[in-house]
Structure 1
């Protein structure tokens, strides 16, 4: 090729190869970001962000947060079977529901349906062994439902049916535990005024209490199926491997049971102290498993029904009013911290597993892990001053106030927009309750994590394992001071996890094999489940659990899912 020609071609191609090509009709507007300099941020008052101030003993925000984050998830509602929320919602058009029966016709009165055929099949193949008729229904127009959380179909003592009892019978009725047909009839009668088509509660899987099998529903099939021909036994081994439990486990955790859509803008929580203050008084000293609704007052019952009447009327049933995706916000917070708190606890417990490890190295590793958890909130100017550095003894604490800006950023980052007056004013009471619960939950998580990070930063624990501490006050720490610091961090980490009480941490340890599944004992699959014995005053006599009983405080265990 002619050299001059080659040079000419290259002079055209080279700029094209190294220069990006943009096709743009006109310059676009640039978004300008505002930036507050460190001097301005330092001048901000952080007096409300006290890293040494623990939450109130009367706090219920963490329970409201976890309760709402557990809606339509089988695992947490099996673990904590006593429900504390009522939530309106819809079952959308096109959703399939299933009903097992011994008759080749639809029920002409309120009856039960299931979201999974494994569950409904049980009621025609096991309990009615002569004929098994299995109905598949499709929703032709949205069904208006009221969801009752917890394990509301567990027909036993202790509170699992409290919310149903007070909703339609005005108080706890332990002598009517097995009055299921009067219960569903009275619930449907009560719900008729609000246009409720069904109620949703949970057994081994989620069930739908249908008030009318012909309203907004159409039969797609009515089949006679082979019976399983199993005997009836309360012992769980008689049903293993159990396909109903297996189907229920599909909805154990996120994304929960998606065929039912809940309206978080209209939910009622019995942990709402503004509506039900007396219930909180009776919870003092109780474990969360034992929280009940039996002490609700007549005035609070009146408040309940007035609030329900306000929430359940209107044409926009089941349509969230603000547009805020509350389930995703709650899930995001839990996912951000649940697994990493588990890892932090493991690191701090590593000393017991590997005693040969140096205490200093373990604490450095924990400090780096904490720093990674809160790194998005560690502003450039946040660092200890010389006067804030400690002598090394955890009991000789500074106020950690220099770390308050990171504390605030961590606690408010996810909810700052929702707290803007223009947005906050549009939220319903239920949403404001959720927002407050989320803020309370984030505040305590961030208080503990930022506090430990700040303590470690004052002691220069950011170094790598085996590195020497550069600060004179840190390098002079004694063995007992290292031990005190480790004990303090371990205690605060476990204390935070106990306070949050997320069911994410209730797992089988060690993990189950492939042929097994991790399961929580659930009604009626307990080893023993003696019935409550109401006296003439209609109060429960709850039997004390024996050493081999698994119905009280269910503990995860591995059960077989293969023969």
Structure 2
């Protein structure tokens, strides 16, 4: 969620704006506790965690060099198999690939021009905004139990189907009508969804494909966007079409020769398939917008020990929270007692809410 900048030449494009000689804080006030300093640093670091980040920094994506470019660094591909993104490292890169990266970077930095002029960050944002919340909502609906929501399987299925249809509405053309393969009653034919998938998968990138001004870096970005769009549309179109055949779509309805869902078991099988599809898609996308505290941090921290106001024994002082990733903290000097704790807190950290005012949650 953060990145570092390495400046090799301070004389190139930099000038001194302010140069103040401030006395150390300990000369004026008692030195604040470490917990306060760490919390303050974390809080300031969270200011630019979300789009558009720090607006003072504009990345030149037309010269992007990525270690996720499998054609550039193929030696890293097998090393990342079955690893979470948090575990990805450059350790193990082959000498040939490392040299290839250096040469590619040198070429990118010296190439003339400024690329196609396409504002790639805006395109990333458009696609993320279009799908992130809806995919997350679909996963929530599918994972909500009947006991929690008091909804039947059919009601849940129709809610999910509605979200899928809303997502695909701009691409569902009039001629897209479900059908059954002739001569083989009950066999579903999904060829009618092909144009829907095509329009969904290419809507955001078709105008770029024919551009002759793309740099190699921009070609890489375009390929990544197209592959991402295709996978999102493949999964959502497939799920929606299955819902149509099961009679869950209130607009298209169900082909007359297609048997309705006749048992809770059949609908449960559909829900299980959908859970698997949407779960795999979200894990594959792994968007940073989904790295957040669940439930979201409230404006107040309801945790103990509490502070009781004198004279008002039932009133509790509760303070604001902020969400952070545990690995942002300095490593504790105490070695974790078990590998499971190490895996949970260090290798695959989960965001959590911490207090912004004393008493702090960190030491």
Superposition deviation, residue 218 in structure 1 = 1.8
Distance in 2 between residues matched to 1:519 and 1:330, nearest whole Å: 24
| CA deviation vs aligned residue, 1:293-312 (integer Å, no higher than 9, x gap) | 11111111211111111111
- Residue of structure 2 equivalent to 1:221: 19
Distance in 2 between residues matched to 1:344 and 1:391, nearest whole Å: 31
The answer to whether 1:297 aligns with 2:87 is no
Distance in 1 between residues matched to 2:357 and 2:247, nearest whole Å: 53
Distance in 2 between residues matched to 1:402 and 1:469, nearest whole Å: 14
Query: For 1:486, what is the secondary structure of its paired residue?
Result: helix
1:349 to 125, 136, 143: 143
- CA gap 1:214/1:473 in 2 versus in 1, 3 angstroms: closer
- Residue of structure 1 equivalent to 2:246: 459
- Matched-pair contact (CA < 8 Å) for 1:516–1:558: yes
Whose strand proportion is higher, 1 or 2? 1
Distance in 2 between residues matched to 1:433 and 1:214, nearest whole Å: 29
The answer to whether 1:412 aligns with 2:217 is no
- Residue of structure 2 equivalent to 1:522: 327
Distance in 1 between residues matched to 2:273 and 2:83, nearest whole Å: 25
TM-score, length-normalised on structure 2?
0.82
- CA gap 1:381/1:295 in 2 versus in 1, 3 angstroms: same
The answer to whether 1:427 aligns with 2:214 is yes
- Residue of structure 2 equivalent to 1:553: 348
The answer to whether 1:448 aligns with 2:232 is no
Question: Unpaired runs of 5+ in structure 2?
Answer: 300-319, 359-363
The answer to whether 1:247 aligns with 2:52 is no
- CA gap 1:544/1:209 in 2 versus in 1, 3 angstroms: farther
Distance in 2 between residues matched to 1:332 and 1:545, nearest whole Å: 38
Whose helix proportion is higher, 1 or 2? 2
Superposition deviation, residue 552 in structure 1 = 2.2
- CA gap 1:217/1:510 in 2 versus in 1, 3 angstroms: same
TM-score, length-normalised on structure 1?
0.54
Distance in 2 between residues matched to 1:331 and 1:550, nearest whole Å: 30
- Matched-pair contact (CA < 8 Å) for 2:232–2:281: yes
Distance in 1 between residues matched to 2:69 and 2:44, nearest whole Å: 33
Distance in 2 between residues matched to 1:545 and 1:210, nearest whole Å: 41
Superposition deviation, residue 253 in structure 1 = 1.0
- CA gap 1:402/1:412 in 2 versus in 1, 3 angstroms: same
Runs of 4+ in 1 over 6 A off after TM superposition: 388-392
The answer to whether 1:513 aligns with 2:298 is yes
| CA deviation vs aligned residue, 1:249-308 (integer Å, no higher than 9, x gap) | 111110111111111010101111111111112222322222221111111121111111
| CA deviation vs aligned residue, 1:143-195 (integer Å, no higher than 9, x gap) | xxxxxx4xx5xxxxxxxxxxxxxxxxxxxxxxxxxxxxxxxxxxxxxxxxxxx
Structure with larger Rg: 1
- Matched-pair contact (CA < 8 Å) for 1:527–1:550: no
RMSD: 3.0
- CA gap 1:376/1:311 in 2 versus in 1, 3 angstroms: same
Distance in 2 between residues matched to 1:283 and 1:389, nearest whole Å: 47
- Residue of structure 2 equivalent to 1:212: 10
The answer to whether 1:492 aligns with 2:282 is no
Question: Unpaired runs of 5+ in structure 1?
Answer: 1-75, 78-148, 153-199, 201-207, 531-542
Distance in 1 between residues matched to 2:183 and 2:139, nearest whole Å: 26
- Residue of structure 2 equivalent to 1:103: none
- CA gap 1:240/1:389 in 2 versus in 1, 3 angstroms: farther
Superposition deviation, residue 549 in structure 1 = 6.6
